[in-house]
Structure 1
Amino acid sequence: MTFLQLIEYETTQKARVDDLMDEWLKATEGKRTATHEMLGQDRDKPSHFVNIVEFPSYERAMANSALPETQHIAEEMRGLCDGEPRFVNLDIVRDEKW
């Protein structure tokens, strides 16, 4: 079953957050369990972002979170955010494609 993790955060340092994501992608090559990632930016509030990350399962998402590289990048990212990021863990119960 597909699992999604939403990471919602505020930052005025988008370029640095993008750099961190690139660092994470390089550092976790061959060991990350995420299969797809999308980043949305709020049109009405440009400092508000939602990162949508897809995993094959909740267990694989937690394994990804436990990677030392993920922990390091997450800590760096917290320092770039205005407030704490919000995490939402979603089991996909319906998936329609049109």
Structure 2
Amino acid sequence: MPNFIQTVTYSTTRIDEVRALGEDLRERRMAAGDGPKPISVSVCADRDTPNRYTTVIEFASYEDAMANSGHPATAEFAQQMGKLCDGPPSFVNLDVLDQNRY
């Protein structure tokens, strides 16, 4: 179960490129096998606002999330993603208190 979730909300008309960039990051991190990685990543489209997206990233811990954020590949991803967005993304850091699966 994740103990920490980070959300990243952003606007872009280039979502396919953002998704491809994210998949490239995932493949490189899995191949390298270095450092903490997310448990899961979900890219979600806002049904009510065209070209607005939220990525939900689940981590085992806050510490894992911060280590992942500090990884050079993550920094490179963030820089490239920023170029694909219509403005700066917003981040929310969430401690998981309860999680129920139905």
Q: Tell me the TM-score normalised to structure 2 length.
A: 0.90
Unmatched runs of 5 consecutive residues or more in structure 2: none
Q: Does 1:90 align with 2:94?
A: yes
Query: Please, what is the CA RMSD of the aligned residues?
Result: 1.2
Q: How many residues align?
A: 98
**Percent identity (aligned):** 37
Moved >3 Å (runs of 4+): none
Q: What TM-score results when the alignment is normalised by the length of structure 1? A: 0.93
Partner of 1:45: 49
In the alignment, what sits opposite 1:12?
13
CA deviations 1:14-65 (Å, max 9, x no partner) are 1110111111012211234211111110112220000000000000000001
**Uncovered stretches (5+) of structure 1, i.e. residues with no partner:** none
Matched with 2:22 is 21
Q: Distance in 1 between matches of 2:79 and 2:4?
A: 23
